[in-house]
């Protein structure tokens, strides 16, 4: 039997990663009776086995890239659902319609939480706290489930905005605002780090390498809040231009 060379990843995680390609199909789960709740809970199944294997091996970069691909594919799946079956998406994506209306206030009237740090900072920190706890106690799975919930309703807004314009592809890219992208990147890195203790059954399996990665992730959280504070008023006006004939 040929032995795997030191430092060479085992074949299992690479094969498991293929399942992530099914992620765009998952939003159609909302057509089922329990679909709205099933989607965020089931969505991590396409990525978690390969993600967890990489985290165990301290392959944080590979785990991060895989989870980012999963998040992007989930977003694409929701956007397609909105474009093809908007009524089903509105019924099935938890918090989707409410978030869409909230974002409409920001884009059309320039008001709302998006331009009020006093409103959005506590909400973002609440999401961060919930994500950290859920990730730590579930070896990452529930953190991914929370991420799927957040990604789904943000993508519902992106899809709804895109189909309301005459340049849907460009509008969809613009509606994924830069601070949200930074936040997703930071959350995914934190998820990879905090999934490790339970996966390797150690209370603190971290070294200086992880300390730098934690610092990078929290710098991303700070950048998210800073960029949103500075750019949100202008970005809303920028998006408004897509709605003009």
Q: Is 11 exposed, middle or buried (0-12, 13-18, 19+ CB in 10 A)?
A: exposed
Q: Which two tokens stand for residue 221?
A: 């959280």
Do the domain assignments include residue 31? Answer: no
Q: Give the gyration radius of the chain's Cα atoms.
A: 19
Do the domain assignments include residue 29? Answer: no
| Buried b or exposed e, range 219-239, using 16+ CB within 10 angstroms | ebbebbbebbeeebeebbeeb
Do the domain assignments include residue 78? Answer: yes
Q: Are 28 and 81 in contact (CB under 8 A)?
A: yes
Do the domain assignments include residue 96? Answer: yes
Do the domain assignments include residue 1? Answer: no
Rounded Cα distance, 8 and 197, in Å = 22
Rounded Cα distance, 211 and 94, in Å = 35
3-state secondary structure of 155: helix
Q: Which two tokens stand for residue 99?
A: 């978030």
Q: Which two tokens stand for residue 206?
A: 């971290």
Do the domain assignments include residue 17? Answer: no
Domain count for the chain, please give it.
1
Domain holding 67, by residue range, is 37-243
3-state secondary structure of 75: helix
Confidence (pLDDT) at 162: 97
**In this predicted model, what pLDDT tens digit does every residue of 125-138 receive, in sequence order?**
999 999 999 999 99
Upper half-sphere CA count for residue 73 (Cβ side, 13 Å): 19
Do the domain assignments include residue 236? Answer: yes
Confidence (pLDDT) at 13: 64
Rounded Cα distance, 143 and 136, in Å = 8
Rounded Cα distance, 226 and 98, in Å = 25
Do the domain assignments include residue 102? Answer: yes
List, in sequence order, the alpha helices (H) in 139-207.
141-163, 168-175, 178-194, 196-200
Neighbours of 204 (CB within 10 A): 8
pTM: 0.92
Among candidates 113, 117, 75, 110, which has minimal Cα distance to 96?
75
Rounded Cα distance, 38 and 145, in Å = 10
Which of the residues in the chain have pLDDT under 70? 1-13, 245
**In this predicted model, what pLDDT tens digit does every residue of 39-83 receive, in sequence order?**
999 999 999 999 999 999 999 999 999 999 999 999 999 999 999
Q: Which two tokens stand for residue 196?
A: 């490790």
Q: Is 205 exposed, middle or buried (0-12, 13-18, 19+ CB in 10 A)?
A: middle
Q: Are 193 and 213 in contact (CB under 8 A)?
A: yes
């Amino acid at each position: 039997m040929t032995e795997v060379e030191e430092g060479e990843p085992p074949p299992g995680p690479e094969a498991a990663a293929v399942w992530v390609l099914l992620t765009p199909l998952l939003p159609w789960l909302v057509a089922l009776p329990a679909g709205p709740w099933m989607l965020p809970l089931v969505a991590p199944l396409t990525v978690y086995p390969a993600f967890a294997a990489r985290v165990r091996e301290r392959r944080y970069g590979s785990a991060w890239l895989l989870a980012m691909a999963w998040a992007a594919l989930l977003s694409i799946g929701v956007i397609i659902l909105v474009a093809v079956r908007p009524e089903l998406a509105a019924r099935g994506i938890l918090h989707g319609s409410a978030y869409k209306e909230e974002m409409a206030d920001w884009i059309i009237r320039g008001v709302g939480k998006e331009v009020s740090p006093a409103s959005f900072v506590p909400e973002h920190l609440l999401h961060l706290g919930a994500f950290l706890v859920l990730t730590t106690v579930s070896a990452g799975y529930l953190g991914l489930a929370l991420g799927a919930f957040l990604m789904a309703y943000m993508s519902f807004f992106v899809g709804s905005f895109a189909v309301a314009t005459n340049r849907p592809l460009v509008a969809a890219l613009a509606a994924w605002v830069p601070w949200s992208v930074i936040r997703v990147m930071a959350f995914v890195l934190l998820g990879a780090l905090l999934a490790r203790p339970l996966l390797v059954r150690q209370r603190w399996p971290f070294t200086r390498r992880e300390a730098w990665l934690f610092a990078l992730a929290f710098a991303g959280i700070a950048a998210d809040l800073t960029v949103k504070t500075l750019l949100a008023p202008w970005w809303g006006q920028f998006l408004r231009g897509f709605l003009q004939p």
